[in-house]
A and B are shown apart, each in its own frame.
Chain A
Amino acid sequence: MTAQLGAVADTPAAESAGLPTPIAGRGQLALAWSRLRKDRMALLAGTVILLLVAIALAAPLIAQVTGHQPDEQFRQTGLTSAGLPVGPSREFWFGTDNLGRDVFIRVVYGARISLLVGVLSTILAVAAGLVIGLAAGYLGGAVDSTLARFMDLVLSFPLLLFAIALVSVVGPSVPLAILVIAFFSWAAVGRIVRGLALSIKEREYIEAARALGAGNRRIMLIEVLPNLVAPVIVYTTLLIPIAIVFEATLSFLGLGVLPPTPSWGNMLSDSLQYYQVAWWFVLFPGLALLLTTLAFNLFGDSVRDALHPSTTHLAGTR
């Protein structure tokens, strides 16, 4: 954790952060990137994630190819004469649901909701946690005690319970789900960032920067922030699957994404009554959800290893 992000060569993240790019020397992110590229698990998980993104983006195209829309009901071919879902076939690859809709195309469209909610709420949470944690840790004093108490407060709320109460009052919707998840995740990020900022601001190079006449804003953005990039990246990749599960849980309880918009959570909620007659109705949305969260967790794990190789070295010596 002592490595400082001064010299970084050809990493996109470093460039966009506005850091100088010297000729030689590989910084922390460049080293991590090269380690990540050699990690087979990371490659596999990364491929799955990219594939999911591609599927989500291409959902309307896929709908055109199959000729089925996500909320189109096939009363003739999609239901048995007893009105029950039909199993996987050439027409319905993943079978149909209780309303005779194509489970395959609904799973495809569900990827859009999961990724949208997962990624957007994580970005919001990380941005808020970063700003508030940095302000608390670096500025200290009254700012810190107020913000730290506020984070403690958010963290001692019974989260899911409160989210449920909130959603039931305001009425479920996708933007609300994103806000709720972000609101209940930022404090954990904020606390970690605050802790890091507290220790970084005591370093000598910060003192040097101040002696050179740098202001608070400059020190926070140019001297402290780059040191937070690595832990925040790790946290972000691990927060996305948590947010995805949170959305699925809200939708499962009928408080997230409302039907007929397909989400893996509300599909699984519908399937609860049909799992005894239509296994495909549970299996495919369930698998999609599991595969997605697993891919993000695997990827996050590899990123963590790549950024903190010390733990793996430690493990390897015994």
Chain B
Amino acid sequence: MKVLSRRTMLRGVGGIALGLPLLDAMLPRRANAQTAAPKRIIFEFKPNGDQTSRRFVSEGETDWVFDEFLAPLEPYRNELLILNRLDKRFFNLPSEERADNHEQGGMALAPWPAGAGDFPVGGEDRTIGYVLGPSADYEIGERVLQQVPALPYRHLVYRVGGRENNIWNLSSHAGPVGEKNPVLPETDPYSAFGRLFGVDANDAEAQAELQRRLVVKQSMLDLLTTENAALVKQLGGDDRRRVEQYTDALRDIERALQPAAEEGACNPVSLGDPVEVYNDDNHEVVGAAFQKIIGMAFACDLTRSVNFNWHGNTSNRVYTNLGLEEGHHDISHKSDDEAFGQIRMIHKHLWTLSTGLYDVLKATPEGDGTVWDNTLIVHWNELGQGDSHSINDILTIFAGGMSGYFTRGRYLDCKNDVGFSEMLVSCMHYMGFEDVDRFGDERLATGGPVPGITT
């Protein structure tokens, strides 16, 4: 993996022990951003499936009619590409290589077999475990880094909801293929904001202090990576991998040491007075705060890949704000009319919140347009429908300007003939990685992108 060379950094910093303007020369990505706006991708997750028969009133390719819970998307219809009924195909895996539908469905950005050893319910004579390979948000972020080594963050992973991390609610995975390696999401937007924009870039004194501290931090990181390199020689395989993973994380810190350079639309503004993040009543505020951060992170070109989750997979959030008394997941297990009415209510609510992200991106200027123009938002869900735990019939919606890459204002019924994994290949092609022909285990990924959706 290429990273910004420490020596380049130190050389840049050397003269400034006294506080100095930034190392623009070290950051070619900013200059590039002037010529061609970078493409970005956001995977946006919703849990527990919806009601497959009530998504659309009619399904014409251009004149489809949204049913009630998708109605919030109507104002944006010309900026959407709807891929209805994708198949995650996990039943192509033998039972000893897959988990239950909840886990498999929720980790579908990583179309690999499931490991074992983390949960006693859901396997055949075996426990089930975290997925054994990377997710698309990580893979894309990693590939972008190889092209733009100075980009501070490979990807950003956010989840609205609680802090607990388990085999259900972690949708981002670092791999490599064959290994369990879940990526923990950030759940506190105020903390996430501080991490990205901790120093006010308009505060010259703070910037000078930061540059001075850069020398110190760089020296620290140097010692730590050297120490790890010596230590791993004394460790066996699994242990060695854990230390090497830490070394990689230290390199990530090194890359992100530079603050955002403010120019153009990169002008981070405060999120406002913090609310209690883990108070369930605040989920809309927390979600909106993450949406703002995503917009600012793109404007400042801190990352090109985001994995955002409206609560974790199998979320059992009680939507008291909608007058509900049962948890989302518990409701989703039922098949009666009342339960489906509640599911539609929840999804209408979540889709309404999703459009908040559209508004943020559309309000963030870039070049002659906005960040929205060069962003692909991939809305996806754990399941097709919750009561049957179906891992086909998945509703996926592309939203955004998508750099004009995909045809928009279009509805396609993929009839479960197209795999979720092919959709991920299309995303990689959009991001410029057209060499990717297959993403995921070959039993899940037939290869190639979704046919006939590019312009």
A binds B: no
